[in-house]
Structure 1
């Protein structure tokens, strides 16, 4: 069998920039715990975690170079996850 996969070379600079962004978002998520935002603390932490996981998926797991249908599938799973989280928040908020 012949392997026709394309190999993508990503520069160290790109990985370093992503590392700095992940560290920045980590420090922001630590700092957000020191600020009293009321019920928005959890929402802020989840938003930052979503951004960080998106960066990891897109760059480190090479979703950037995958086929469009895989990107669509990951987007669908993320949309379902976000819907479940939103429904959970509404259930908790209106009890």
Structure 2
């Protein structure tokens, strides 16, 4: 592990960036971007997570092997998410397969008038 001292100013700068990105997230939440709202919010969240991992978890200044394992963990998480959402997107609900639409609405308690 490297013994170089990381300036405290850097932590305050990163903290300021995280606060700024949080404010951007709040502002973007009030803007109607349609289906892109979720994509933009997730992109900002991933950016914030990268700042936390790189600076507050000291991955940026650690030995070369640590970033390799962090990247491998992130890649594995990506694989699991892709497989999970792929499975979820291709499943068919039992209610939508067996019952007509009006019967599903009646069963859920919402009658068509």
Q: Which has the larger radius of gyration?
A: 2
- Structure 1 residue 69 corresponds to structure 2 residue 65: yes
Match of 1:29 in 2: 25
Match of 1:8 in 2: 4
* Deviation of 1:42 (Å): 1.2
- Structure 1 residue 46 corresponds to structure 2 residue 42: yes
Match of 1:19 in 2: 15
* Deviation of 1:9 (Å): 1.2
* Structure 1: gaps (5+ residues): none
Q: Which of 52-61 and 73-82 deviates more?
A: 73-82
* Structure 2: gaps (5+ residues): 93-113
Distance of 2:60 and 2:16 partners within structure 1: 19
Distance of 2:17 and 2:74 partners within structure 1: 21
